[in-house]
Amino acid sequence: MNVPAPGRRHPGRKLRLQLAAAAVLWLAACGQPGGTGRACTEIAALRGVSLTVAADTAAAVRSVQLRLCQQGRCTTAEPRLFPGSTAVGGQCAPASGPGSADAERPCSATMSPDGTLAGFAEVPALAAGPVQVSAAVTAPDGSRRTYGPLSAEAALAYPNGPQCPGAAPQLALLLGPAGLQPSPAPQAGR
């Protein structure tokens, strides 16, 4: 039997310990997100159009049918309209120290009706880029009025930021006293 003399180490022991330590470090690193440290969720944006009907116009609107044309192809969409609301009374906990990120602080707010109508309609064929839009508005008494055509731009929406998958083209519109116009889309996860 080959046993090292007392006080002498086994020659392969150091190499085995180094290999074991390297394997543990490699396994620990496998699950870590690279770069930003922000995780990507499995939430994706929907291709489609959002419509906000201004508070001073909402009483005159029962439904809206949109006609969207891109690259010579047209489709219709009818956003289902619901009473709109806005966040009020938002309060955030104070930062816990230097370098604290706002996203890490708890915040609270309540939603309050704002008199608008808001809706979204999926438009699977929508692509990022220029869109020609017109709207046929039906009033509560059944009368109809047409707005447009309007040139607008469908842009990619990133629910988790541009570093994550799940982006989709969206178009945001506002119907108000001045008629139909583009509305800046909220960019979640920027």
- Rounded to the nearest 10°, the torsion over CA 83, 170, 181, 66 is -70
Domain coordinates in residue numbering, the chain:
48-94+103-182
Q: Rounded CA gap, 84 and 51, in Å? A: 11
Tens of pLDDT, residue by residue over 113-150, are: 999 999 999 999 999 999 999 999 999 999 999 999 99
Q: What is the mean pLDDT of residues 9-36?
A: 54
Give bridge partners of residue 112 from the DSSP assignment. 86
Tens of pLDDT, residue by residue over 150-178, are: 999 999 999 888 899 999 999 999 999 99
Contact 114, 84 (CB under 8 A): yes
pTM for this entry: 0.69
Q: State CA 96 to chain mean position distance.
A: 27
CA angle 87, 77, 80 (to 5 degrees): 40
Q: What is the pLDDT of residue 189?
A: 40
Q: Rounded CA gap, 64 and 120, in Å? A: 11
Contacts of range 145-151, beta carbons closer than 8 Å, 24 or more positions apart: 147/175, 147/179, 147/180, 148/67, 148/179, 148/180, 149/69, 150/180, 150/181, 150/182
Strands 82-92 and 107-122: antiparallel
Tens of pLDDT, residue by residue over 56-73, are: 999 999 999 999 999 999
Q: Which of the pair, 131 or 38, is modelled with greater confidence?
A: 131
